Chains A and B, each alone.
Chain A
Amino acid sequence: EVQLVESGGGMVQPGGSLRLSCAASGFTFSERIMDWVRQAPGKGLEWVGRIRDKANRYTTEYAASVRGRFTISRDDSKNSLFLQMNSLNTEDTAVYYCAKDSGSGKYFDYWGQGALVTVSS
């Protein structure tokens, strides 16, 4: 059974940093592109970015709203995905989901339960 479990959410002041983790199981993590998607309270879904697999040199893509502030990384030896968030502002307040790429297109066949990040003074 595929499982994605996020951790590391919490409250942080504007300008601060936070690192989210996503523990994956039930599939060959090292062979899969992984993404982060967020959802502000009461709002729709916003794609944050992705990291490809080793075969694709772990290259990344980011949404313009987070590029230069957020960094996606992975540790295949620990089946883990990370999202380092710096220079946070109130607009970054959201539930952050890690999501598994299907492998046959840029869509997501499994999602974690989400981690809430609140940016507030």
Chain B
Amino acid sequence: DIQMTQSPSTLSASVGDRVTITCRASQSIGALLAWYQQKPGKAPKLLISKASNLDSGVPARFSGSGSGTEFTLTISSLQPDDFATYYCQQCNTYPITFGQGTRLDIK
């Protein structure tokens, strides 16, 4: 199975900050990576597919990059609505696997 490791597990930041979350795959997955945002008690929401493609309606302050085994999700200027947990997911092979999540807290 492909293991997905996110860092950090928890991140404290302030409104307006630029933040970056890293996701590493245990083997190369090309650009077959997705990012999701999840708020407490809610279903995950797709943010980015194929490493860097912003889903429809997702604000442009979100961006994704990377290929192979290392990927990043960047939020250029944090807004109050962005405080949530973020998951990466590899879309390359079965079983589909997720990172353990990164909780983004208000500092």
Contact = CB atoms under 8 A, between A and B. Distances in A.
Contacts of B50: 105
A45 B91 contact: no
A31 interface: no
B43 A106 contact: no
A1 interface: no
Given A45-B87, A107-B49, A112 B43 contact: yes
Given A44-B87, A112-B43, A105 B99 contact: no
B91 A47 contact: no
Contact of B44 (A45, A104, A106): A45
Nearest to B44: A111
A46 interface: yes
B105 interface: no
A11 interface: no
Contact of A47 (B32, B38, B98): B98
A64 B97 CA distance: 12
A47 B94 CA distance: 10
A113 to B, nearest CB: 6
Which are the 4 A-B pairs with shortest beta-carbon distances? A111-B43, A107-B34, A106-B91, A47-B96
Nearest to A49: B95
